């Protein structure tokens, strides 16, 4: 592989590539923050999917975002080719000194290769063990223990050629002053005063969700303790239906629903002011952990060691401690089965109260 990068190497322009979901993008922030700390004067850019832009668009360390729109393919072959060529040209025009490819897709590798950056870092994935992948990257990181690492630790491993370690890796979620003001206005209109608890029981994957009846029971119990509850969810029709059902099962009127009313940065501003966040394995859970809001996360058959909330101020309740779970690799993601059903309401209430009484 390429010779080690000299210690005196100080890049001016850095590109980080990650083409995944919202939560994945948030978990790139420890690497972005570490790059900013190591190279305070460098320009740091990120290439990502258009729909995940809200996770990073307010990050103060990022100069610009390069966007891939997954709808390009709907415009037909020639138009898609033109978009891809324009993107490659934009990347080359930035004269990156370092490109860090955190993805395993060929698209990200080819962009890395054609960037003409003198330092091109990627992972030595077994499925990509060929000449083209090696041409695209001149520093390949071993993936020998990749599957034992948290996603944050995987991302941080890509910084090894720059002599940046994973110690003290800190995620962060950012939002604008306008988003913060919007949330304050909504709270005032709804007559919600602090402290309050944010509960986001939904996910686009039903198998990650707890039963609606238990969520309603949790809300009623915490409301009876005197706490104000704010329910949140994405605008998605399925998630909205779940929230409506949960509300219909609640006996206490102290719950306020802002489901579908907030953008992701606005949701971050709301979570940032919450006393406690309770949710399932989802992007908002990662946001709560990054914002250092006390976070109670309910997990089912996803890879806990990859996706647990990153940080100190959180607790995970795992369905696998109560009943056998299927292997995460064998899950039918379209199933309507709720694997979190083994988690008893009493344990979630006790965990929430322990946070609230600290």
pLDDT of 3: 57
- Per-10-residue mean pLDDT of the chain, 358 residues long, equals 74 97 97 97 98 97 95 82 92 98 96 97 95 96 93 97 94 97 96 94 93 97 95 95 96 90 97 98 97 97 93 95 91 88 97 90
The tokens for 277 are 């966040």
The tokens for 249 are 């099962």
In the chain, where does the domain assigned CATH 3.40.50.2000 lie? 13-162, 178-355
The tokens for 63 are 């100069």
Beta bridge partners of 256: 230
Classify the C-alpha dihedral 285-345-240-230 as positive or negative. negative
**151 Rama class: left (phi>0) / alpha (psi -120 to 50) / beta:** alpha
Give the C-alpha separation, 79 to 259, whole Å.
36
Q: Is 265 exposed, middle or buried (0-12, 13-18, 19+ CB in 10 A)?
A: buried
Q: Using a cut of 0.75, tell me whether the model's pTM lies above it.
A: yes
pLDDT of 80: 84
Give the C-alpha separation, 53 to 57, whole Å.
6
Give the C-alpha separation, 174 to 335, whole Å.
33
CATH 3.40.50.2000 correct for 178-355: yes
SS3 236: coil
Beta bridge partners of 196: 228
- DSSP strands (E only) in 43-118: 43-49, 62-68, 98-101
Q: CATH number of the domain at 13-162, please?
A: 3.40.50.2000
């Amino acid at each position: 592989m390429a010779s080690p990068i000299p210690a005196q190497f100080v890049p001016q322009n850095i590109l980080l590539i990650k083409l995944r979901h919202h939560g994945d993008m948030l978990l790139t922030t420890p690497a972005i923050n570490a790059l900013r700390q190591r190279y305070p004067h460098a320009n740091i850019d990120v290439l990502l999917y258009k729909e995940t832009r809200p996770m990073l668009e307010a990050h103060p360390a990022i100069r610009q975002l390069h966007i891939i729109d997954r709808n390009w393919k709907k415009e037909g072959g020639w138009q898609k080719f033109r978009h891809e060529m324009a993107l490659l040209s934009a990347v080359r025009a930035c004269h990156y000194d370092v490109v860090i490819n955190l993805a395993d897709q060929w698209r990200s590798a080819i962009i890395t290769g054609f960037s003409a950056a003198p330092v091109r870092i990627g992972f030595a994935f077994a499925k990509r063990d060929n000449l083209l992948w090696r041409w695209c990257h001149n520093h390949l990181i071993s993936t020998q223990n990749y599957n034992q690492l948290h996603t944050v630790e995987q991302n941080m491993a890509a910084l090894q050629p720059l002599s940046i370690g994973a110690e003290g890796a800190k995620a962060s979620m950012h939002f604008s002053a306008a988003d913060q003001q919007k949330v304050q206005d909504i709270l005032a209109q709804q007559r919600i005063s602090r402290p309050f608890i944010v509960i986001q029981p939904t996910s686009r994957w039903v198998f990650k969700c707890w039963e609606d009846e238990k969520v309603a029971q949790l809300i009623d119990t915490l409301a009876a303790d005197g706490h104000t509850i704010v329910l949140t969810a994405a605008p998605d029709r399925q998630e909205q239906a779940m929230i409506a059902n949960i509300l219909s099962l609640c006996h206490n009127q102290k719950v306020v629903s802002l489901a579908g009313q907030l953008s992701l940065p606005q949701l971050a501003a709301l979570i940032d002011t919450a006393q406690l966040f309770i949710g399932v394995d989802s992007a908002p859970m990662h946001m709560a952990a990054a914002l250092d809001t006390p976070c109670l996360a309910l997990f089912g058959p996803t890879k806990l060691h990859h996706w647990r909330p990153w940080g100190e101020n959180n607790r995970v309740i795992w369905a696998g401690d109560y009943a056998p779970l299927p292997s995460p690799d064998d899950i039918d993601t379209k199933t309507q089965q709720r694997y979190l059903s083994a988690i008893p309401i009493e344990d979630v209430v006790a965990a929430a109260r322990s946070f609230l009484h600290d």
